[in-house]
Structure 1
Amino acid sequence: MRAAVCGSPIAHSLSPALHRAAYAALGLTGWEYDLLEVDEERLPALVASLDTGWAGLSLTMPLKQAVLPLVDEVSDFARAVGAVNTVVVTPRPAGGTGRSGVHLRAENTDVHGIVAALAEAGAVGVARGAVVGGGATARSALVALLRAGCPRPVAVVRSPARAEELTRVAARLGGEVEVRDWAELPSVLDADVVVSTVPAGASQAVADVLAPAGAPGGSRPAPLLLDVVYAPWPTPLAHRWRGPVIGGFEMLLHQGAAQVELMTGRTAPLEAMRAAGLAVLRERARA
């Protein structure tokens, strides 16, 4: 069986290390997990080529929304979030017709990854949460904060269009979001948990605004930061943050474990995956 992580750029991805470690620990000999450079233009051809030799795809930027019209089914939860990071390939039911005899179902495990990463850091029952950014991962972060108990997360975005979409995502899940303009970025320091979804290239600009400010008025500790970037690490924002920091690796680990379970039907060997991912990160740090 074959699976792969797809996106652009993709060379930095740790997903192959995590999934291959899972296959080895589960004794799934003959299973392969590749790394494929795929942009939005090339995605339709890849999806059309999937057959019964495939178990699934892991998707990252810029494919989390582009894949939606290309699959047979989108889970109710992933449709509500409006972004997917997983395509599960299963044999098409008897009597069914379609592409190469397979059924493609899109799922979202990013939300689980964020919730689990926050829980490991003790952030359970979040009262005040904030999201920085408005893209596909920001949608998952917003939903994760709602699931962690935050009654009305704050989202700071640059684009009015993305603000509207985040509002719709929250409403579809029975929640609310308070959207603020980018000029109000320092206001996220009023939260207990901040999830930064900005890409590595934008981290310095966010750090220049947030890191020097510290906690508001020095009256309480800076919030817990979950920075979804894991390569390169630490990001400028994570390096300069004055409070506790969770790296994007923890989110990647837990969402990857959920993908392994969806694609294999087996319980993911979380600690084997963690050890493999951290070993690669240590090797990269030495290099």
Structure 2
Amino acid sequence: MKYAVIGHPIDHSLSPVMHNANFESLGASSSYEALNIPEQQFHLIKDIISDKGLAGFNVTIPHKERIIPYLDEIDDQSKTVGAVNTVNIENGKWIGYNTDGIGYVTGLRQTYENLEEAKILIIGAGGASKGIANELQQFVKPKLTVANRTLSRFDNWHLDINKMSLAEAETSLANFDIVINTTPIGMKDNREVVISLDNLSSHTLVSDIVYIPFKTSILKLAEAKGNPIYNGLDMFVFQGAESFRIWSGQMPDINTMKQAVLKRL
């Protein structure tokens, strides 16, 4: 079986490294590649996927919302989030899923004890933020708080959360046990920090869903203050593992997937 990840740009993606390591570990003859599809070519997506003979594919920036009109069905998580990152092709039908939220939360639950009682601030109001919030609120007791630069971004949110501006979040940082950055600020060569950490409590876990670089600016700043940090590597691995399970119905070799990514990093 053949699989791929689609996005633009895509050359930085470690999805092929991770999935091909899993296939090899399981003795599967499947393959996985990265397909760069610029936005102006996206209307050809059905032909591109058909020509490649794919049984399924992942979707990354900037196509997670753009893919939805081309799908025959989407799961409940995708409906809530308004974005799809995994497509399974069954008997010619394209079925969309969103595994980002479950990927991040699966990793966080293994890292943070007593997560159910944590007071959590999520920074950013995009698709990843909504997916993580939707997954977290299923078992975290305190109401989640989500902060964004512009509050109008919450207009299409239907989750029961506290909403605030970044300025408000900065002044109330001491109230939170976990702070999660879901914005792209800090990716690659971007050295900005999305929010000031001056009011951060010493016990607060600071997390970023980015894994390249391994430590973004906000994680470096938090670490320098002595705070525990948590990056997006587990999210990347667990969302990929869930994609594989959807495609194949089999359990992946998660340790091999993670080690393959760490080796490349």
Identity of aligned residues (%): 29
Q: Are the aligned partners of 1:154 and 1:180 in contact in 2 as well (CA < 8 Å)?
A: yes
Q: Are the aligned partners of 2:4 and 2:57 in contact in 1 as well (CA < 8 Å)?
A: yes
Residue 240 of structure 1: how far off its partner (Å): 0.9
Match of 1:106 among 93, 96, 106: 96
> What secondary structure is seen at the aligned counterpart in 1 of 2:193?
helix
- The Cα offsets for residues 92-145 of structure 1, whole Å up to 9 and x where unpaired, read as xxxxxxxxxx11000011111111111110243143111101111111121132
> What secondary structure is seen at the aligned counterpart in 2 of 1:147?
coil
Q: How far apart, CA to CA, are the structure 1 residues paired with 2:42 and 2:257? A: 27
Query: Structure 1-normalised TM-score?
Result: 0.83
Q: How far apart, CA to CA, are the structure 2 residues paired with 1:263 and 1:188? A: 40
Report what 1:131 is aligned to. Answer: 122
Report what 2:89 is aligned to. Answer: 89
Query: Structure 2-normalised TM-score?
Result: 0.89
Q: Are the aligned partners of 2:173 and 2:199 in contact in 1 as well (CA < 8 Å)?
A: no
Report what 2:197 is aligned to. Answer: 211
Q: How far apart, CA to CA, are the structure 2 residues paired with 1:263 and 1:23? A: 12
Match of 1:264 among 243, 248, 251: 248
> What secondary structure is seen at the aligned counterpart in 1 of 2:137?
helix
Q: How far apart, CA to CA, are the structure 2 residues paired with 1:189 and 1:54? A: 48
Match of 2:137 among 124, 146, 150: 146
Q: How far apart, CA to CA, are the structure 1 residues paired with 2:213 and 2:262? A: 14
Q: CA 1:48–1:189 in structure 2 vs 1: closer, same or farther (change >3 Å)?
A: farther
Query: Comparing both structures, which one devotes a greater share of its residues to helix?
Result: 1
In structure 2, stretches of 5+ residues that fail to align are none
Q: Are the aligned partners of 2:186 and 2:193 in contact in 1 as well (CA < 8 Å)?
A: no
- The Cα offsets for residues 241-281 of structure 1, whole Å up to 9 and x where unpaired, read as 13211111111011110011111221111111111111111
Residue 189 of structure 1: how far off its partner (Å): 4.1
Q: CA 1:66–1:72 in structure 2 vs 1: closer, same or farther (change >3 Å)?
A: same
Report what 1:56 is aligned to. Answer: 56
**Matched AA of 1:40:** E
User: Which residues of 2 match residues 172-251 of structure 1 at below 5 A?
Assistant: 176-186=160-170, 187-201=172-186, 204-206=191-193, 209-215=195-201, 221-241=202-222, 242=225, 243-251=227-235
Q: How far apart, CA to CA, are the structure 1 residues paired with 2:163 and 2:65? A: 21
**Matched AA of 2:154:** A
Report what 1:3 is aligned to. Answer: 3
- The Cα offsets for residues 167-219 of structure 1, whole Å up to 9 and x where unpaired, read as x1x1xxxxx11110122231344211221111144764435x4334432xxxx
Q: How far apart, CA to CA, are the structure 2 residues paired with 1:201 and 1:69? A: 31
- The Cα offsets for residues 210-244 of structure 1, whole Å up to 9 and x where unpaired, read as 334432xxxxx342122011112211111111321
Q: How far apart, CA to CA, are the structure 1 residues paired with 2:57 and 2:73? A: 14
- The Cα offsets for residues 26-63 of structure 1, whole Å up to 9 and x where unpaired, read as 1111x211112224332331234333931211111111
Q: How far apart, CA to CA, are the structure 1 residues paired with 2:124 and 2:174? A: 15
Q: CA 1:134–1:254 in structure 2 vs 1: closer, same or farther (change >3 Å)?
A: same
**Matched AA of 1:268:** P
> What secondary structure is seen at the aligned counterpart in 2 of 1:22?
helix
Q: Are the aligned partners of 1:129 and 1:145 in contact in 2 as well (CA < 8 Å)?
A: no
Aligned length: 257
